[in-house]
Amino acid sequence: MSDLDKAIAQLRACRPIPEAQVRELCHKARELLIEEGNVVTVAAPVTICGDIHGQFHDLMELFRVGGDPPDTNYLFMGDFVDRGFYSLESFLLLLCLKVRYPDRMTLIRGNHESRQITTVYGFYDECVRKYGSANVWRYCCDVFDYLALGAIVLGASNTLSPPNEHISSEDYADADIEIEVCNADGDIMSRFQRRDNEQRSPNGAGASAGSKTGPPGSGASGSSGGSTGNPTGAVLCVHGGLSPLIDTVDKIRLLDRKQEVPHEGAMCDLLWSDPDEIDGWGLSPRGAGFLFGADIVKVFNHRNDLSLIARAHQLVMEGFKEMFDASIVTVWSAPNYCYRCGNVAAVLELSEGGGGESILARSNGDVGRSDGGMRGVMMESDSAPKNGPARRYRVFQAAPQDSRGMPAKKPVADYFL
């Protein structure tokens, strides 16, 4: 067992590794990250995750639900640290996995991966408390500076592969599912078929649908891989959102990212901005970044041949939220955020597109906002671009209290009392 594997095992048990080892790990990680561009290219299949915020036990739950690395190819969209009690263990584990399986683990930077923010929101204090000095915090911050700013997922399929081993892929090929929501055990909770008129069944979470398509059946074809779908337009992943200074993905590639997150400018915006129901650009209540409306997203996606933007950054109670005709989605992976918010979490799975014989259809062309009417809990849209990737959201709750092995430091949340 290599030192790295030992470190992974130790961190998986939620035990910090020695300072010297952190130093070495951070050094290796930096060598690796420095080779990555500002926008990393990732091939589907991939499981996209939002904020973690030091909720270590919930990260373990995420791996249980989404599959263990390296079996599952992961993309984490930042905000690994702060707020939760185990930022250190969470970030170091992800970093170890990155170093160990560089091609199966993509980490991009969130607005909390910053010196200034971590001194305010907990990570700095946690490091000092656990190591008696700020050295480890410094090593980690040096790594933060090298994290990529975004990722492009290529080759995502417009159909899904089965969510569990009980369903055969043949059943799936016919189903033409665009969106599927599964619970933590892989059971299908709801489905939405692609773009057929009455079908984008409104009643959202938990309800409906399961019966509509091939029921979870015997099957057990075992073959998990190789679905038969077609690849779709690319998916841009970024922590926050868009910037008025960035109109093409290539402009992101030109930024000098190896620095502390600035207070303003393109790099700051990518990590801080939020989509909102407005036209154009607006001021952000966060005091950094901007708000941007549907028109901005649609123009950006069209110009850059994107079928979807996946981002994190905002707490959404259902774990994910699609907006603007499914042109952008928020993925949130910290259940019961801050031990207070009562929300569920989600990860987004994109399947691998079949051999690209047909239509490399990046037709996000027409921003048709056809009919109206149906919207569900998480569907704010009326219609989706035809060739958006099929999306499976796995929704999960906070790890049970008794799985939090550590001496029961009862997480205490603030209220006005």
Active site residues: 112
Q: Which is nearer to other proteins, 163 or 335 (CB)?
A: 335
Taking the alpha carbons at both ends of the chain, their separation in whole angstroms is 51
Nearest CA among 337, 350, 335, 381 for reference residue 195: 381
Contact in structure between 76 and 53 (CB atoms under 8 Å): no
Nearest CA among 379, 349, 402 for reference residue 62: 349
Q: Report the SS3 class of residue 266.
A: helix
Distance from C-alpha of 122 to C-alpha of 416, rounded to nearest angstrom: 21
Give me the least distance between CB of 205 and other proteins, in Å please: 12
The DSSP output letter for 379 is: B
Q: Which is nearer to other proteins, 122 or 353 (CB)?
A: 122
Instruction: Tell me the backbone φ, ψ of residue 165, rounded to 5 degrees.
Output: -75, -5
Residue 235 bridge partners (DSSP) = 153, 308
Q: Which is nearer to other proteins, 1 or 412 (CB)?
A: 412
Q: Which is nearer to other proteins, 357 or 416 (CB)?
A: 416
Instruction: Tell me the backbone φ, ψ of residue 401, rounded to 5 degrees.
Output: -55, -40
Q: Which is nearer to other proteins, 335 or 388 (CB)?
A: 335
Give me the least distance between CB of 26 and other proteins, in Å please: 22
Give me the least distance between CB of 146 and other proteins, in Å please: 22
Give me the least distance between CB of 7 and other proteins, in Å please: 25
Strands 345-350 and 46-49: antiparallel
Q: Report the SS3 class of residue 46.
A: strand
Structure tokens at 90: 């969470």
Residue 41 bridge partners (DSSP) = 152
The residues that touch other proteins, with contacts defined as CB under 8 A, are 83, 85, 111-112, 116-117, 119-122, 124-126, 129, 263, 272, 283, 285-288, 314-317, 336-344, 409-410, 412-417
Contact in structure between 175 and 193 (CB atoms under 8 Å): yes
Distance from C-alpha of 47 to C-alpha of 286, rounded to nearest angstrom: 28
Give me the least distance between CB of 255 and other proteins, in Å please: 20
Q: Which is nearer to other proteins, 63 or 281 (CB)?
A: 281
Structure tokens at 398: 């906070």
Structure tokens at 219: 């099957």
Distance from C-alpha of 214 to C-alpha of 134, rounded to nearest angstrom: 55
Give me the least distance between CB of 121 and other proteins, in Å please: 7
